[in-house]
């Protein structure tokens, strides 16, 4: 393998890594606030991409994407209000089944709205064939858009969680819901916000990568598994470690394509998930969730 | 104990009554769909054991079903006549495990008898379940769900991506399964009634075995785990081992269902392994009540039959998803144990703390 070829795989890995990272961060935001693994996380990516494609038919691209993100955030918030908020101390099993149900309902609605067709947004700059030359590898400008957006999301989230009052309240809520509530933090609304936030970043990522990876009604469950692998690899509840883990999974997957048939691409990430769960359930980077994790 | 015999007798009576009713109504072809529903019901009751007693959810039961079906399909159609009298094939032939048959083109073939093929299929599914269960079952609920979801997507990708397994078309030309005494699974319309009784006989046998299990020492341990895992562990119940055993048993039952359906219809396609299929089994169990084997049996027979008849049209998957969601929201113990007033109260109170909190 030449250096240029390796570089080409790395670029592909980073592109997919972006979306895995963002889905992984989304899992973590909701998990930190609620202890719930939201199986509908991948559906938000699909919903964002599909809505933006539809809106872009009659709106300028940036407006269409902004609206799609807002719509998906609203759906995320609604999901929490309609299906989760009013349940009293639901069991883990019940929460899993409910979020799986939600993901399927979203998926079926998308199937009936948009059909089975594969769609994509236009390239933000240039077109399918325009490429930059980086060390012999050809890099689409859209890859830079994806990486840039991922970076932007991470920085914005960091700022939000560390520097704003609302973000601090959310962190307080994640550390101890009762204690936060006693301090006057509106924990219930923050849980809704956590769903909307994770939906929003998923939707944004879904829009940005759609020119390269395409989007269709059924991509959600696959993304959910990858995103979950990423979240566990980084350490569940450890938001920013998920970004690094996302790129690790993306790179491993891209390199695996050069070794095995493409059909076995998913085997790599699921094998990785099982291996992590077996060897290091607290994740590569560790997490304070360890006690909660192994409390079963 | 007596109650279980009564229920089994009730099941047999219901199976016979449905047979007579279908004949009387002049719709004997309903029996074919009911036979298929029987094999799917095997999957559902196994999953009910896992969800209700081990508190775990598997999103890969369709994949285990497909493993059973594909393994038996491959083994019973693999032509061994080239290796006749030599090596492994010769050994199998001397042991009487091979059968000669003619394929669609009329060429003479020699392949493994369905009995050993079925044993291998079920054993393989069980082995896979062990491989997934050992790393995952030490951890909390969502890990098995996610790991099995991942495993399910691998299986379907592998099936579609493997030419030898018929890729997107699946495998056909699987011979009928001669059980014993002239009873055969498969073999077209002549065997419709016999097939119907074989399938539901298998379901009855599974119910009897699961019933025994649930009422045994193992069953008491499982119930203790369901009630309070930590308490059970402190009483010396090896929680992880029982969870693993439950998972493996339910995967094996799913594979058995796959073996039966594949011989019945003479083929299997990758659609049987889809995640949506797995979710349907979960939905059926949720409606029937987790851990309520008889409730699961009833809802599985009914919903699967309606679905196979095409009652729900293009909304087939959506109906199952919606049922799943509604049941889990309003009546997580199944529709037979619905607490509608409690659910309405909770909805009304919008989650304000209630004194009669449900157990976590």
Tens digits of residue pLDDT in A108-160? 899 999 988 888 888 888 777 777 877 777 888 888 899 999 999 989 999 99
Integer Cα distance of A99 and A2 in angstroms: 45
Give the contacts of A279 (CB within 8 A, at least 6 positions apart).
none
Query: Which chain B positions have a beta carbon within 8 Å of A293's beta carbon?
Result: 139-140
- Paired with B172 in beta bridges are B267
Mean pLDDT within B35-39: 90
Residues in B closer than 8 angstroms to A228, CB to CB, are 146
pLDDT in tens, B289-321: 877 888 888 888 888 888 888 878 778 888 888
This model of the complex carries an ipTM of 0.80
Count CB atoms within 10 A of the CB of residue B355.
4
Distance from the Cα of A36 to chain B's closest Cα (Å) equals 9
- Cross-chain residue pair A296–B136, CB shorter than 8 Å: no
Identify all chain B residues contacting A267, using CB atoms and an 8 Å cutoff.
Answer: 154, 157-158
Tokens of B45: 């009751």
Q: How far is CA A252 from CA A206, A246, B31, B217, in A?
A: 21, 10, 50, 46
Chain A contact probe: residue of B328, B333, B344, B357 with most A CBs at under 10 A? B328
pTM: 0.85
The residues that bridge with B99 in the sheet, in sequence order, are B111
* pLDDT tens digits along A203-227: 999 999 888 888 888 888 888 888 9
Q: Which of A57-61, A198-202, B30-34 has the lowest mean pLDDT?
A: B30-34
Minimal CA separation from B48 to chain A, in Å: 13
CB contact under 8 A, A96 and B286: no
Exposed, middle or buried: residue B22 (CB in 10 Å: 0-12, 13-18, 19+)? Answer: buried
Q: Do A105 and B318 touch (CB under 8 A)?
A: yes
B353 has a pLDDT exceeding 70: no
- Eight-state DSSP code of residue A84: I
CA distance B79 to B102: 10
CA A23 to chain centre: 1
Alpha helices (H) along B55-191? 61-77, 87-94, 114-136, 141-161
Q: Which residues from B are below 8 Å from A89, CB to CB?
A: 357-358, 360
- Cβ–Cβ pairs < 8 A, chains A and B: 156
Whether the pLDDT of residue A182 is over 80: the answer is yes
CB A153 within 8 A of CB A201: yes
Instruction: Give how many domains chain A has, as a whole number.
Output: 1
Q: pLDDT of B94-127, one tens digit each?
A: 666 777 666 655 566 677 788 888 899 999 999 9
- Of A37, A35, A71, A82, nearest in space to A187 by CA: A35
Q: Which residue of A has its CA nearest to B143?
A: A277
- Residue A212 is part of which domain span? 3-293
Q: Is the dihedral of CA A250, A256, A258, A261 positive or negative?
A: negative
What residues of B are in contact with residue A296 (Cβ under 8 Å)? 138-141, 229
A23, A38, A88, A264: which to substitute to probe chain B, counting the most B Cβ within 10 Å? A88
Task: Measure CB to CB from residue B328 to each of A97, A224, A261 and give the nearest one.
Answer: A97
pLDDT at B165 over 90: no
Give residue limits of the domains in chain B.
Answer: 2-272
Report the pLDDT value the prediction gives residue B357, as an integer from 0 to 100. 44
Query: Do the beta carbons of residue A293 and residue A281 sit within 8 Å?
Result: yes
Does B153 contact A221 at a Cβ distance shorter than 8 Å? yes
Q: Is pLDDT at A296 greater than 60 in this prediction?
A: no
Is the pLDDT assigned to residue A282 strictly greater than 80?
no
CA-closest candidate to residue A242, choices A92, A27, A7, A16: A27
CATH number of domain containing A119: 1.10.3470
Backbone torsions φ then ψ of B264, nearest 5 degrees: -65, -50
> Which strand (E) or helix (H) includes residue B185?
strand B184-185
At A167 the three-state DSSP class reads helix
């Amino acid at each position: 393998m030449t250096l240029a070829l390796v570089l080409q795989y790395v670029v592909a890995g980073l592109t997919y890594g972006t979306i895995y990272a963002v889905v992984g961060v989304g899992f973590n935001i909701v998990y930190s606030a609620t202890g719930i693994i939201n199986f509908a996380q991948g559906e938000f990516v699909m919903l964002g991409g599909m809505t933006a494609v539809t809106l872009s038919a009659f709106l300028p691209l940036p407006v269409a994407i902004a609206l799609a993100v807002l719509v998906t955030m609203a759906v995320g918030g609604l999901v929490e209000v309609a299906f989760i908020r009013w349940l009293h101390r639901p069991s883990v099993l019940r929460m899993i089944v409910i979020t799986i149900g939600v993901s399927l309902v979203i998926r079926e609605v998308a199937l009936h709205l948009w059909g089975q067709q594969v769609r994509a947004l236009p390239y933000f700059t240039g077109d399918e064939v325009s490429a930059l030359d980086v060390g012999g590898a050809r890099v689409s400008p859209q890859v830079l858009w994806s990486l840039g957006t991922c970076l932007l999301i991470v920085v914005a989230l960091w700022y939000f969680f560390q520097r704003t009052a609302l973000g601090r309240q959310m962190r307080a809520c994640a550390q101890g819901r009762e204690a936060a509530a006693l301090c006057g933090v509106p924990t219930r609304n923050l849980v809704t916000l956590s769903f909307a936030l994770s939906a929003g970043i998923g939707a944004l990522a879904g829009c940005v990568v759609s020119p390269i990876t395409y989007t269709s009604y059924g991509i959600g469950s696959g993304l959910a598994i990858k995103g979950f692998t990423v979240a566990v690899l980084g350490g569940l509840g450890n938001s920013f470690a998920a970004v690094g883990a996302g790129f690790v999974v993306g790179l491993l997957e891209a390199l695996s394509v050069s070794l095995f048939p493409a059909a076995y691409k998913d085997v790599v990430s699921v094998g990785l998930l099982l291996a992590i769960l077996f060897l290091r359930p607290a994740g590569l980077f560790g997490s304070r969730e360890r006690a909660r994790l192994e409390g079963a | 104990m007596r109650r279980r015999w009564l229920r089994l007798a009730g099941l047999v009576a219901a199976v016979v009554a449905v047979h007579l009713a279908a004949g009387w109504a002049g719709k004997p072809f309903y029996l074919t769909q009911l036979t298929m529903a029987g094999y799917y019901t095997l999957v559902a009751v196994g999953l009910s054991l896992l969800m209700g007693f081990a508190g775990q959810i598997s999103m890969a039961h369709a994949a285990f079903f497909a493993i059973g079906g594909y393994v038996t399909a491959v083994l019973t159609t693999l032509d061994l006549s080239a290796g006749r009298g030599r090596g492994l094939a010769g050994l199998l032939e001397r042991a009487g495990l091979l059968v000669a048959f003619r394929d669609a083109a009329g060429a003479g073939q020699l392949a493994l008898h369905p009995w050993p093929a079925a044993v291998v299929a079920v054993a393989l599914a069980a082995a896979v379940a062990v491989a997934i269960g050992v790393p995952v079952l030490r951890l909390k609920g969502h890990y098995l769900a996610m790991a099995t979801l991942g495993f399910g997507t691998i299986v379907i990708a592998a099936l579609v991506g493997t030419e030898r397994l018929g890729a997107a078309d699946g495998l056909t030309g699987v011979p009928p399964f001669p059980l014993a005494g002239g009873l055969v699974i498969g073999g077209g319309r002549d065997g419709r009634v016999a097939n119907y009784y074989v399938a539901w006989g298998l379901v009855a046998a599974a119910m009897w075995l699961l019933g025994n299990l649930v009422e045994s020492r193992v069953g008491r341990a499982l119930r203790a785990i369901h009630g309070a895992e930590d308490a059970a562990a402190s009483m010396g119940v090896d929680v992880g081992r029982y969870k693993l055993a439950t998972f493996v048993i339910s995967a094996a039952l799913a594979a058995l269902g796959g073996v039966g359906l594949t011989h019945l219809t003479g083929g299997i396609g990758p659609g049987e392994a889809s995640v949506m299929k797995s979710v349907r089994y979960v939905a059926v169990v949720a409606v029937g009540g987790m851990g309520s084997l008889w409730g699961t049996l009833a809802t599985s027979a009914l919903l699967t039959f309606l679905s196979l008849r095409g009652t729900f049209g293009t909304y087939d998957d959506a109906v199952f998803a919606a049922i799943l969601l509604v049941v889990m929201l309003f009546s997580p113990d199944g529709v037979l144990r619905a607490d509608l007033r409690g659910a309405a109260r909770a909805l009304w109170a919008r989650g304000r703390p209630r004194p009669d909190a449900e157990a976590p």
